[in-house]
Amino acid sequence: MKTILLFFVSVTLLISCGKKESNQNPQKTIITGRIDNFKTVSNHDMIEIIYEDLLAGERRIYQSIDENGLFRFELDLNHPMDFNLKYSGFLTYHISPGDSLNFTINSDCWRKKSRSYKDENKFYLISGTSKELNNDISKFLNLYKDSLCNMEADVDSSHQLEPMDYLNFKTRQLIDIEKSLTKFNKEENTSKEFRQWSANHIKYDNWTRLMFYRFNHAWGNNEDAVTYVQKMPKEYFSFLDEMKYTRGNELNNSAYLNFLNEYDMYVYQVIPADSSKLYLSQFETAPEKAGSYLLRYYQSTHKGFLKDVLIAKFYYRILDKKGYPDLKNIYNVDIIHDQELRESIQQKYNYEQNLFENPELSVKSKINELKDENDFLQALIKKYPGKVIYMDFWAPWCGPCMADLPNSQNLVQQYEGKNVAFIFLASNCKEASWKATIAEQKIEGEHYLLTKKQFAQLSSIFNIQGIPHYALIDTKGNIVNGDAPHPGENEKLIKLIENHLN
């Protein structure tokens, strides 16, 4: 079976925990399962785990399901965490280091008619070390998602209600949910662990939806979200006065991590307009100046663990987008006081520093330079006579581009030694970050870093509206498809390539 982990780096499972529950020695954690009557749904042969990381954000692990309907994930965990299992639906579970969970999934899940969480859940049976906790979580989320806090109804309310009315609505709703949770705990005789988990979940999911309001109301009323948040009454955000400034067990709950992500964006959005115009608008042209301002702003407006989180997330964001050159002169890990955050960021910084200063390219990753500024496409085609050319327009900062890389590399290996050239054309990035990403991801193929003029020419020829973008050239140098299937469309793309190889 094949496992694909997107955007994963070694530090991501080290820091999302309360100190008492942190374990610096990762423990092997297993999630296995079986799809009953898999042959009847064998076209649904991938299953996915999605989890939230404090610094890195959303992470996804894809796993193929074998011919017998079996799948297996192995994780090295340092702390408890929520995860979503995505197959026919999107269901939430909780796992701790050393756990072993097993799922039995009824293939009828693909033939269900109802869209309710409860009806989806009935097709999934769980066993293993955290069976009781996860059964309680599933039962409660059936009630919570379908009745107590329906997402569609919540979005409709955010469109219709003014800020303070929506705040009052969500405050009353949370009180009602807390009463329902108390009743649930009594009837189900739930564990202390579940009671702690569920209390955190409903509180921070409520806060996250309060934060979503600034977008939902603006979009529902044809307003600009960034402008709208600036004119919202300050009293609306009074619930933030209850925020904790210390590290706690909330960090094991995905609802809290989602809230922190929203809060991070909110803090950025409410920076005074004059400062935003003076500093933050210069991130592309003067990244050190903009970054220095943002670090000073975080330190002057926040304190404790929350301040450390905002700074650490900023550092991580820049480093993960291969912005080490822009950060190295303003980087100061000592302004982060939380030890685990500080160690995680320093580990990430050291990794990126080594990647930039000592990039080790695979022998099958070929760096090329083509200076032709007048007719770049024809100059490129002449370099690969008699070959089908598959062109991949990408950049290190482009999330969807990076997400398709595993599929792309499978194709490169499949056509090794055949008359197919896989050409990766990067744009709008610096040479150092380009080479570092090729080295890190081991991107095999022919590589070019386009000038602005070269990219403009190709954009005009292939009508490129954004990246990733793909194009196919036949063996005679003719454009077969200027908007070719992406690597994830495996069968469709292979058929197209094969038609022009013969």
Alpha carbon distance 386, 400 (integer Å): 31
First to last CA, the chain: 32
* Confidence at 172, pLDDT banded by 50, 70, 90: very high
Q: What is the pLDDT of residues 84-125, one digit of tens each?
A: 999 999 999 999 999 999 999 999 999 877 779 999 999 999
Alpha carbon distance 414, 85 (integer Å): 30
Q: Which residue has the higher pLDDT, 500 or 128?
A: 128
Where does 3-145 sit in CATH, by number?
Answer: 2.60.40
Q: What is the pLDDT of residues 383-439, one digit of tens each?
A: 999 999 999 999 998 888 888 888 899 999 999 999 999 999 999 988 999 999 999
Return the structure tokens found at 326: 């822009």
Model pLDDT, residue 134: 97
**CATH number, domain 365-501, options 3.40.30.10, 3.30.470.10, 3.40.50.2300, 3.40.1010.10:** 3.40.30.10
* Confidence at 283, pLDDT banded by 50, 70, 90: confident
b (16+ CB within 10 A) / e for 123-138: bbbbeebbeebbbbbb
Per the listing, tokens 């040479």 go with 431
In the predicted structure, residue 14 carries a pLDDT above the cut 50: no
Model pLDDT, residue 21: 43
445-449 and 365-367 strand pairing: parallel
Model pLDDT, residue 17: 42
In the predicted structure, residue 349 carries a pLDDT above the cut 60: yes
Q: What percent of the chain has pLDDT over 70?
A: 95
CA proximity to 195, closest of 136, 276, 109: 136
b (16+ CB within 10 A) / e for 23-51: eeebeebbbebbbeebeebeeeeebbbbb
Q: What is the mean pLDDT of residues 476-493?
A: 90
b (16+ CB within 10 A) / e for 195-207: eebbbbbbbbbbb
- Domain range annotation of the chain: 3-145, 149-236, 271-358, 365-501
CA proximity to 265, closest of 228, 224, 230, 310: 310
* Confidence at 481, pLDDT banded by 50, 70, 90: very high
Per the listing, tokens 């969480």 go with 117
Q: What is the mean pLDDT of residues 264-272?
A: 91
b (16+ CB within 10 A) / e for 399-437: eebbbbbbebbebbeebeeeebbbbbbbbebeebbbbbb
Alpha carbon distance 275, 268 (integer Å): 11
* Confidence at 24, pLDDT banded by 50, 70, 90: low
CB 279 within 8 A of CB 224: no
In the predicted structure, residue 23 carries a pLDDT above the cut 70: no
In the predicted structure, residue 12 carries a pLDDT above the cut 70: no
CB 352 within 8 A of CB 324: yes
The length of the chain, given as a count of residues: 502
**What is the residue type of 189?**
N
CA proximity to 337, closest of 297, 310, 304: 304
Q: What is the mean pLDDT of residues 253-280?
A: 89
* Confidence at 70, pLDDT banded by 50, 70, 90: very high
Model pLDDT, residue 4: 44
CB 121 within 8 A of CB 173: no
Alpha-carbon distances, residue 198 vs 89, 178, 190, 266 (angstroms): 21, 10, 10, 25
In the predicted structure, residue 130 carries a pLDDT above the cut 50: yes
**Lowest mean pLDDT, pick from 288-292, 306-310, 343-347:** 288-292
Model pLDDT, residue 340: 92
**Average pLDDT for the chain:** 90
Q: CATH topology of 3-145 equal to that of 365-501? A: no
> Which ranges constitute the DSSP H helices of 324-416?
324-327, 339-357, 376-382, 399-403, 405-414
* Confidence at 374, pLDDT banded by 50, 70, 90: confident
Residue 187 φ then ψ, to 5°: -70, -35
Alpha carbon distance 500, 502 (integer Å): 5
Return the structure tokens found at 312: 């650490």
CB 14 within 8 A of CB 23: no
Q: What is the pLDDT of residues 173-193, one digit of tens each?
A: 999 999 999 999 999 999 999
Q: What is the mean pLDDT of residues 307-317?
A: 96
**What is the residue type of 361?**
L
Reported in sequence order, the residue ranges of 37-89 that DSSP labels E, i.e. its strands, are 46-53, 57-64, 70-77, 81-86
Alpha carbon distance 169, 175 (integer Å): 10
